[in-house]
């Protein structure tokens, strides 16, 4: 890396704030930045600012000292309440006296908050849509996004560390859970009389267009019956997701299927996935969690930007519907559609991919 890039290489921060305001999967993909900051600055305290609902993704991360949250329900309580909460947040952030802010967010408020910290070094991305005096004022350094189109989200995130002279190589995601999460899963499996190995299948996404056919998932479950492994089906607590799991279960003939759909917190789900021989699922946060836990993973993708969102790591197989039939451009999708664009992926290929990980 050229020295001109490593503008702050000699800088040793005591307290670091990382900002990311996005979805659950995005939070898993910020962990390589956290992990590398911990390696590079072993004595620094690292804090994170995120949306409240994504907190569980990072709640057990051993490198973090404090997690600040923005609750998106504040605005439902009225403008006065929202302003009070925003003020409390700003006060709490300011009181931490950060030396370094790593702003991975693209919202205006993140630039203003970054400025408000008073941190000596404040790094953000030079987003085309944010080229303005306000965005520049929020940061002491802006990192190019020119090559983001060809980079995985992990690589995009890691690039923000280049001005600090930190290595961007061998970035690894991670997902953490507690001993009590592990114990909860063990008890749940015992309750369902699961004593041997198991496969986790999460067929759901909150977006239907990212889902595969219920019948095909049922066929995969039946096709893996001879492995002797129990199939543990998981999903979020949303009614639509629970209905999908129930329907798949009704369609299967494999007697070794249990559903814990809607019964696990995100950290408990992590523990369940970590204990599995294999994870099969669609483009979703649990898929990123499986990759982060290094559980073998078969991921089914449709019209998503696979270059950005495929599972990170080497212990996974991605099956893309676009290899079997034409797909619409990702940016043209109506995300509320009920159409399932993964339909073209054949059952046999999913079973073959699954079996390739099950040779013990």
Tens-place pLDDT, residues 116-162:
999 999 999 999 999 999 999 999 999 999 999 999 999 999 999 99
**For residue 360, what pLDDT is reported?**
56
Tens-place pLDDT, residues 152-170:
999 999 999 999 999 999 9
Asked if 209 contacts 341 with a C-beta cutoff of 8 angstroms, the reply is yes
Q: pLDDT-based confidence at 219, cuts 50/70/90? A: very high
Burial class (CB in 10 A: 0-12, 13-18, 19+), 216: buried
Choice among 3-12, 239-248, 328-337 with the minimum mean pLDDT: 3-12
What is the C-alpha to C-alpha distance for residues 142 and 123, in angstroms, rounded to an integer?
6
Q: What percent of the chain has pLDDT over 90?
A: 92
**For residue 9, what pLDDT is reported?**
86
Tens-place pLDDT, residues 178-194:
999 999 999 999 999 99
Q: Which residue has the tokens 């990192």?
A: 143
CA Rg value for the chain: 22
**For residue 359, what pLDDT is reported?**
77
Residue 355 has pLDDT above 90, yes or no: yes
What is the C-alpha to C-alpha distance for residues 238 and 175, in angstroms, rounded to an integer?
23
Residue 54 has pLDDT above 80, yes or no: yes
Secondary structure string (H, E, C) spanning 127-185: CHHHCCHHHHHHCCEEECCCCHHHCCHHHHHHHHHHHHCCCCCCCCCCCCCCHHHHHHH
What is the C-alpha to C-alpha distance for residues 235 and 258, in angstroms, rounded to an integer?
12
β-bridge mates for residue 121, sequence order: 100
Tens-place pLDDT, residues 71-95:
999 999 999 999 999 999 999 999 9
Q: Kindly report the length of the chain.
A: 360
């Amino acid at each position: 890396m050229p020295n001109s890039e490593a503008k702050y290489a000699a800088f040793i921060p005591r307290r670091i704030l990382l900002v990311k305001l996005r979805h659950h999967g995005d939070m898993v993909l910020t962990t390589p930045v956290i992990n590398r900051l911990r390696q590079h600055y072993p004595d620094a305290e690292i804090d994170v600012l995120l949306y409240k609902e994504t907190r569980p993704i990072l709640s057990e991360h051993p490198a973090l000292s404090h997690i600040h949250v923005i609750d998106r329900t504040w605005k439902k309580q009225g403008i006065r309440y929202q302003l009070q909460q925003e003020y409390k947040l700003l006060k709490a952030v300011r009181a931490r006296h950060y030396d370094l802010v790593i702003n991975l967010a693209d919202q205006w408020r993140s630039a203003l908050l970054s400025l408000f910290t008073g941190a000596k070094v404040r790094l953000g991305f030079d987003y085309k849509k944010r080229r303005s005096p306000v965005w520049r004022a929020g940061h002491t350094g802006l990192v190019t996004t020119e090559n983001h189109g060809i980079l995985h989200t992990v690589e995009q995130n890691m690039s923000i560390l280049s001005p600090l002279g930190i290595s961007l190589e061998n970035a690894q995601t991670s997902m953490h859970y507690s001993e009590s999460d592990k114990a909860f899963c063990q008890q749940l499996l015992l309750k369902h009389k699961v004593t041997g190995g198991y496969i986790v299948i999460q067929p759901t996404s909150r977006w239907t267009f990212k889902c595969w056919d219920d019948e095909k998932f049922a066929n995969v479950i039946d096709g893996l019956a001879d492995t002797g492994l129990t199939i543990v089906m998981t999903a979020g607590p949303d009614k639509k997701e629970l209905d999908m799991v129930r329907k798949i279960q009704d369609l299967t003939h494999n007697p070794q299927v249990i559903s814990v759909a809607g019964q696990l917190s995100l950290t408990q789900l992590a523990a369940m996935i970590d204990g599995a021989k294999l994870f099969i699922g669609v483009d979703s946060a649990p898929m990123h969690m499986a990759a982060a836990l290094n559980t073998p993973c078969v991921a089914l993708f449709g019209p998503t930007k696979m270059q950005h969102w495929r599972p990170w790591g080497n212990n996974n197989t991605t099956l893309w519907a676009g290899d079997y039939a034409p797909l619409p451009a990702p940016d043209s999708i109506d995300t509320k559609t009920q159409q399932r664009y993964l339909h073209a992926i054949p059952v046999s290929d999913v079973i073959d991919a699954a079996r390739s990980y099950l040779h013990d």
